[in-house]
Amino acid sequence: MPRSPLMPALAVALTAAACLAPPPVIAQMAATPEKVPPLSKGEIQLSFAPIVKRAAPSVVNVYATHVEKRNARSNAMAEFMRRFFGEDAPGRGPGGTPGERAQRSLGSGVIVDASGLVITNNHVIDNMNEVKVSLADRREFEATIVLRDPRTDLAVLKIKSPADVAPMPIGDSDHLEVGDFVMAIGNPFGVGQTVTQGIISALARTQVGSSDYQFFIQTDAAINPGNSGGALVDLKGHLVGVNTAIYSQSGGSHGIGFAIPASMIRAVVDTAKGGGSTVRRPWLGARLQTVTPDIAESVGLDRPTGVLVASMQPKSPAEDSGLKRGDVVLAIDGQQVDDPEAFGYRFALKGTTGKTTLSIQRGAKKQTVEVKLGSAPETRPRDMLKVKSRSPFVGATLVNTSPAVAEEIQVDLPADGVAVAEVEEGSIAGRSGFKKGDVIVAINGSIVSSTKDLERMTRDSLGVWEVSINRGGEVMTTVFRG
């Protein structure tokens, strides 16, 4: 399978939603100063240096390591490798220490609070257990991981014993416009802190694929491996995005980079400041789909926009609000949404208390509905299971289904069943073809209703497993022999 050209900026490598009813031009001009291009040679020769001087001290290098203790047999193999291949052979830990195996990761981060909180990408510290940050003035600190949010690919670190750190103000990404100047600051390829400059190339990019909430800022400021978690800065020196991915067929920058907007960064940082280790998000309980030209014409829209309500879960906030199947949601609290990804991003920022107003079109009539905000309920314990007995499920994390699990995995799930929450790369489950979101329907003809059922069935099996799974509404059956 060819490798996708879209990669995290750590590895080898979104138009801002306008109000549905924009304010009068005069009021808008009063609120937002008019932006003008350089008008003279003198203006063109102006420097970005004052902005860099303010912003650069807030950007840090992030060094993450996963140190794994090894058993005696692995130690013997590591020693064999050392004898024949030298001190840097695979399987040796930091400094060539026998008995340890180390994975390393290099990225960037941004200090966002005087207490020492640092925002970075989750993929920079994923699976790591030791983290250090290096400041622009070359001071180095150990850091703890206080929050991981894989769904946004963001994580928050806490510098141990911070002294005289310079936090960067978080800006307002909703007021960015295509063509605005921005700078990317990070540590590409580990060469040291580097500043690149460009413009906002596009906004609200939703087909990037590097996180669940896709609503990215696109920029042509050079972003390369090692820039992951670094800052995208506006001309005020404010953080407007965290650089997270590049589109590349060579591993280097081709002028197509993507950053997570500041509005999502603020939500994650506020959770960490409040002592939370998990970001809680509101639950709608509806399946949404893109509005096609045919659908737009059938409901009287002049163009394809908004999201179509395809179905709703019983007793969900969507059903309780009065939404109906076939409604087209055009905006959330006045902010236009053009596709399901944009809706998901805007809705996720609303929190889990209070209400939000959806502007909808039902038939030929426009109206509004109020949705009560709250977290998806965990209607039964998830009873997380990692199968240890020999079976095709080894390496998969399995959980009992519920609205909360369905929201986390971002797939439609039945009320009673067992879903695959994670699959370890290279595991037996992965090689067997299981994928995140699969629902295990039956094993050897017996219905699977809970993780306890599945554990018992795999333990009692005679080495043959006929497994039926539901993947995206399609049921398939495969026989495994062990």
282-318: pLDDT as tens digits: 999 898 999 999 888 888 888 899 999 998 888 899 9
Q: Note the pLDDT of residue 322.
A: 93
Angstrom distance (rounded) from CA 229 to CA 252: 17
Q: What is the mean pLDDT of the chain?
A: 81
d(CA 59, CA 45): 26
> Are 346 and 373 contacting, i.e. CB atoms less than 8 angstroms apart?
no
Lowest-confidence segment of 60-69, 179-188, 208-217, 384-393 by average pLDDT: 208-217
* pLDDT at site 359: 95
Check residue 52 and give its pLDDT.
92
Please give the pLDDT value at position 222.
87
Q: What angle do CA 109, 405, 383 make, to 5 degrees?
A: 105
* Fold category of 385-481 in CATH: Pdz3 Domain (2.30.42)
What tokens does 441 get?
């329907």
Question: What pLDDT does residue 240 have?
Answer: 95
Confidence (pLDDT) at 211: 56
pLDDT digits (tens, 9 = 90+) for 77-104: 444 334 433 334 444 444 445 555 566 7
Convert the pLDDT of each residue in 196-255 to its tens digit: 999 999 988 776 665 566 788 999 888 888 888 999 999 999 999 999 887 766 666 677
User: For this structure, is 228 an active site residue?
Assistant: yes
Q: Pick the residue with more confidence: 405 or 412?
A: 405
Q: Which residue has the higher pLDDT, 16 or 419?
A: 419
The predicted structure's pLDDT at residue 96: 46
Note the pLDDT of residue 460.
72
**pLDDT the model gives residue 369:** 95
Which residue is catalytic, options 149, 153, 339, 438? 153
Q: Diameter of the chain by CA atoms? A: 81
CA atoms within 13 A on the CB side of 400: 15
Choosing from 58, 123, 149, 327, the catalytic residue is 123
Domain definitions of the chain by residue range: 61-110+122-147, 286-372, 385-481
Q: What pLDDT score does 42 carry? A: 75
Q: Of 97-101, 108-112, 175-179, 233-237, where does mean pLDDT reach its minimum?
A: 97-101
Mean pLDDT of 412-416: 72
pLDDT for the residue 314? 85
Residue 420: per-residue pLDDT: 92
- So what's the pLDDT on residue 437? 87
Q: Mark out the alpha helices in 32-104 (DSSP H runs).
A: 41-44, 49-55, 72-85
CA dist., res. 234 & res. 246, Å (int): 19
Q: What is the pLDDT of residue 31?
A: 58
CA distance between the termini of the chain: 27
Q: What is the pLDDT of residue 8?
A: 54
Which fold would CATH assign to domain 286-372? Pdz3 Domain (2.30.42)
Which of these is catalytic: 105, 173, 211, 228? 228
pLDDT of 28 over the 90 cut: no
Amino acid at 37: P
- pLDDT value at position 26? 40
385-481 and 286-372 share a CATH fold: yes
CA distance 186 to 225: 10
pLDDT score recorded for residue 68: 64
Amino acid of residue 168? M
Q: Give the model's pLDDT for residue 32.
A: 61
Tell me the angle at which helices 262-273 and 340-348 cross, rounded to the nearest 10 degrees.
30
Which range has the worst mean pLDDT, 101-115, 160-174, 311-325?
Answer: 101-115
pLDDT in tens, 254-279: 778 899 999 999 999 999 998 888 88
Q: Which has the higher per-residue pLDDT, 357 or 457?
A: 357
What pLDDT does 440 receive?
Answer: 92
d(CA 4, CA 12) in angstroms, rounded, equals 11
Model pTM greater than 0.95?
no
What pLDDT is stored for residue 210 in this prediction?
Answer: 53
> What would the pLDDT profile of 114-166 be if each residue is shown by its tens digit?
999 999 999 998 888 789 999 988 899 999 999 999 888 999 999 988 778 99
